[in-house]
A and B are shown apart, each in its own frame.
Chain A
Amino acid sequence: MDDLLKSAFVGTASVAPPTPGGHLVEAALPDTSGDIEHSVLLRAGARAVWERAGYQPRREVLAPEPSPVDERNEVSERGAVILRLVFSGEARELLPEFLEQVDEAELRLPAALLPDALSAVGRSHELRRLIRKVIGERGRWLARLNPDWAWAGNEQAEVADRDSLERLWGEGSTSERVEALKTLRESHAAEARNRLEGTFGNEKADVRARLLETLAIGLSLDDEPFLEKSLGDRSESVRAVAADLLARLPASALVQRMTARADAMLLATRGGMLKRTLKIECTPPQEIEKEWLRDGVPKIAPHAGFGPRATWTEAVIGAVPLSHWTTRFEGTPNVLIAAAKEDEFGDSIIAGWTRSAVRSGSEADWLNVLVTFWLESLVASAGKSRKQADAFKQYFYQQQLQSAVAGLDREAAETFVASHLRQNDTVGEIAFSLLDRIPRPWSKEFTRAWLGGAVSILNGKVQRADYRWVQSLGIAASAAPLACLDEMIGELEPIGTDPEHQFSGATRRLLDTIRLRRDFHREVSAQRA
């Protein structure tokens, strides 16, 4: 603070200002005839103008080296307009599709969009992977200059080499360490497990659970000792992961233990006229021992409306391979389900079988029967009394149905749902509610089936009381394959442009999303040619 300012800051009543004439510009000021404050004010003004006019720029600021040259071309201006919309938040679910198309067409994102793109991606591992493919040299160069975008600074995200893996494992964020461990697990399963065991005790609970999940890759009995030990972990989420993984190994000790418990609970009898009709009865214990809890059986009920014994039944049976039952009871899935469903704990038994089927991933026969069973149960329970117990049951059946459908392979899932879409009643509604379990993108056949069902409703041929089917419009907008888009536009346009139609708004939104996809695809394809 120079003397003049100091005097003004403290007050000229306390500190006299320095005599004028020292500063060059003050020579131009008029004489203020002894008015001290006036003089100070004018001098302040003169100095301010002096400083403004004499502003000195900074010297020798380091600018970055120019970016390396890109070989790929940028997406066209029209495509860029669409991308900008999507990066700014509209129809974000289309981002993965668009980025893939840009990459396939061997294009890169326009430079002006790079900051939006790099910021919009957030922490999603999948989006980061996709973005990396299309930012080009310019994008990588830019990312290296901003610490927030450091993750995009290098081409190789799939770090296959050892050094990068080590570095990520040692210094990376949790997500990066999980990815590194997964990569290692794919090629060196045992070593990955050993590394994990080594640091396990020092990791925080939620990190332990995420890392342990990576053992799902290349899971084998070699992993059993470590997993058994983890059944005693302090954290419940870790124990749950360990129990789930062990249940996937039919030869594991946990599965043996569960099988023994299940065998003790279930009893088969043959009744009926000719003593040929199989009946399964379930008698879960009144209390369970500590070992059950250690093996992942929950103490309290996860499903509302179900008591602890039902919960234990489902958990135990869920850990037993289905072949055990077809052998022991000598029946097909159909027969066994029919045999169990009348029992007091029938729903829980079958829920357990469902869990086992989904976990195994190779029980298509069982799953095909299970989905039908849950669908029928759901239909039967729908529209019944408004008692809470029935509402819980309905919710339970809905969840079981969704799990079972999610366990089907794509073709089976599509066939199952498509076959029910056009039905006029509750079944049709339920089919619509399963749409988000179908893997994406949908097949052309399935899309046509959906379209047929949706158009029937929209044209009033089929009545729907439930509004939930409208949500399928949103799902279809991004799940339908590109090949079907023109057809969808053709069928749905008349409804979208009809201002009287009840669903014209929702239909228009779907059409907007579809057109966005189609327009972008056209732009990018045109550039490829």
Chain B
Amino acid sequence: MALTNEQVIGLAPDAASAAAGRKLSALKNWEGLGACDVAVWGKCKGSAVYQVKVDLANFGYHCSCPSRKFPCKHVLGMLLLHADSGSSFSEVQPPDWVLEWLGKREARATKQAEKAEATASAPVDDAARQKRAEKRESRVREGLDRLEVWLKDLIRNGLAGVETKPTSFWDDQARRLVDAQAPGLAARVNRLAEIPATSSDWPHRLFGEIGQISLLVEAYRRIEALETDLAAEVRQLIGWNLTTEEVERDGERVKDEWQLVGQWVDDDGRVRTQRTWGIGAATGRTALLLQFAVGAQPFAEPIVPGSRQAGTLVFYPGASRLRARFVSRDEPPMPLDDDLGGSASIEQFLDSVAGMLARQPWLREVGGVLKDVVLAPGRPWHACDRNGDALPLFGSQQWAALAITGGAACDLAGEWNGSAFRVLGLRAKGRYQPL
């Protein structure tokens, strides 16, 4: 397997790294290049000699240089070289320093699996845990009561008044919810603060968002009466997090060939969230893979848009069944060249969104592929299907997308947020292109 040039450049953390990687992709910079079916390796001669290795089975990489960028320019350079001239990687038998590293990774993976099993079956201090859980429930209940009073005041006094309120008006309420151990609701209240400034129909939007928060509070109050999946979802939305062990124990597992059709990183200044949408080639399931990183830290797993990954995903328990994580990858990722799964028409896509909302009404973003659409420039851009329906688009790569398709129909991958479709990739003329 080899990543294409484009995919390797896509891995780069910034343009400077991409450029530096390209400069290092010349044969003369390397010695001891080798590849087998589980790894690619080499030594880069620069101001010092650095050992670079890539694990193909659980896609990962390592370089002995001191750089804080991930992947560093040496990894990028080697992968670019591998993309262009695989035959230069003449060694077949991995040297010790590669075997040792692969061994450690394998050991770590096994250890994690064992640990998961262990915690699943280990006896827990039930009493203490019960007490903590009860304390949290009562804190949350109090927090929700206060939130409800605050919301009712808003309605009684009128939303018109919020235009002149300072940010502390929202911040204070959000902080109180954090104190009440309901961070999910706190985040929603924080988002309310941006609405009055952003659009001319802000009263309508604010009204809707506040309404939905109220529905969530109401749902929590009646959580006993909800069916299991919806109850689990409500708890997650309010702010209870599941541990990896819980997810892997209770979540639904789906094995398929997952087409990773689009990715973007949401940066709120404190934490970066990498959102990748995948579609199962056989099952047609849609999955959202989330990773988090603080500051300039890299994301833990390399998830490459424009690749297909055979493996098993475990879906987080709940009503939406979108968020998932890989529990096993059966092969190294391959370039995504095949036909994409997705919605045959915009109407079909919106129908599927409506279906998801019926199961989980607080759902905001849904990823998917609109098949057989053409792009129309304008303010805003639109994707138009053969039935004459059009969805508004947003994103920074519309012109590149239009240039690639040349006005012909394509399959457009992206994320729908209720009012616009964020363009993340497209497939045209048999090739997939992340954007």
Contacts and interface: CB of A to CB of B under 8 A. Distances in A.
Nearest to B364: A52
A30 B395 CA distance: 40
Given A42-B215, A111-B403, A9 B158 contact: yes
B377 A41 contact: no
Nearest to B16: A90
Contacts of B375: 63
Given A11-B158, A40-B155, A44-B214, A515 B209 contact: no
A285 interface: no
B26 A41 contact: no
Contact of A45 (B5, B6, B212, B354): B212
Interface in A48-72: 48-49, 51-55, 57-67
- Sorted from nearest, which 3 A-B pairs have the closest CB atoms? A44-B211, A11-B158, A45-B211
Interface residues of A, number: 61
A57 B391 contact: yes
Contacts of B214: 38, 41-42, 44-45
A278 interface: no
A48 B19 contact: no
Contact of B15 (A13, A63, A88): A88
Interface stretch (A141-149, A169-177, A404-412): A141-149
Interface residues of B, number: 66
A33 to B, nearest CB: 13
Contacts of B160: 9-11
Contacts of B22: 81-82, 85
B183 to A, nearest CB: 20
B376 A9 contact: no
Interface of B: 4-6, 9, 15, 18-19, 22-23, 26, 45, 47, 84, 148, 151-152, 155-161, 203-204, 207-215, 218, 346-347, 350, 353-354, 357-358, 361, 374-378, 382, 384, 388-392, 399-400, 402-404, 406-408, 418-419, 433
A273 interface: no
Contacts of B407: 63-67, 141
Nearest to A515: B26
B384 A61 contact: yes
B390 A53 contact: no
Interface string A25-48: 000001000010110111111111
A40 B357 CA distance: 21
A146 B399 contact: yes
Given A49-B215, A59-B390, A64 B399 contact: no
Contacts of B418: 52, 55
A12 B156 CA distance: 5
Contact of A66 (B9, B45, B358, B406): B406
Contacts of A61: 376, 378, 382, 384, 390
Contacts of A47: 208, 211
B208 A146 contact: no
Contacts of B350: 55, 57
B203 A1 contact: yes
A327 interface: no
A58 B382 contact: yes
A77 interface: yes
A499 B384 contact: no
14 contacts: A8-B155, A8-B158, A8-B159, A37-B152, A38-B148, A44-B211, A57-B350, A58-B389, A59-B388, A60-B390, A62-B376, A64-B377, A81-B9, A138-B403
B404 A41 contact: no
A111 B399 CA distance: 10
Contact of B406 (A51, A62, A138): A138
Contacts of A58: 382, 389-392
Interface of A: 1, 5, 8-14, 30, 35, 37-38, 40-49, 51-55, 57-67, 77-78, 81-82, 85, 88, 90, 111-112, 114-116, 138-139, 141-142, 145-146, 497, 499, 512, 515
Contacts of B84: 78
Contacts, number: 171
B198 to A, nearest CB: 16
Contact of B354 (A53, A60, A66): A53
Given A45-B213, A45-B214, 12 more contacts: A1-B204, A12-B158, A37-B156, A38-B148, A40-B155, A45-B208, A57-B389, A58-B391, A111-B404, A111-B406, A114-B399, A138-B403
Given A52-B418, A58-B389, A138-B403, A37 B218 contact: no
A52 B417 CA distance: 9
Given A38-B152, A43-B211, A13 B203 contact: no
A42 B218 contact: yes
A488 to B, nearest CB: 15
B327 to A, nearest CB: 32
A53 B400 contact: no
A38 B18 CA distance: 55
B159 A9 contact: yes
Contacts of B376: 61-64
A446 B349 CA distance: 66
A47 B211 CA distance: 8
Nearest to A6: B203
Nearest to A142: B403
A5 to B, nearest CB: 5
B215 A115 contact: no
A446 B388 CA distance: 65
Contacts of A43: 211
Contact of A499 (B23, B47, B152, B406): B47
B392 to A, nearest CB: 7
Given A5-B204, A57-B346, A112-B433, A44 B406 contact: no
A51 B204 CA distance: 11
A65 B399 CA distance: 15
A30 B219 CA distance: 11
B377 A44 contact: no
A55 B208 CA distance: 14
Contact of A49 (B361, B374, B404): B361
B403 A41 contact: no
A30 B214 CA distance: 13
B250 to A, nearest CB: 27
Nearest to B152: A37
A138 B382 CA distance: 20
B399 A115 contact: yes
A127 B375 CA distance: 29
A196 B209 CA distance: 65
Contacts of B157: 11, 13
A49 B357 contact: yes
Given A11-B157, A42-B214, A53 B353 contact: yes
B203 A5 contact: yes
B155 A12 contact: yes
A427 to B, nearest CB: 36
B381 to A, nearest CB: 9
B158 A14 contact: yes
A512 B212 contact: no
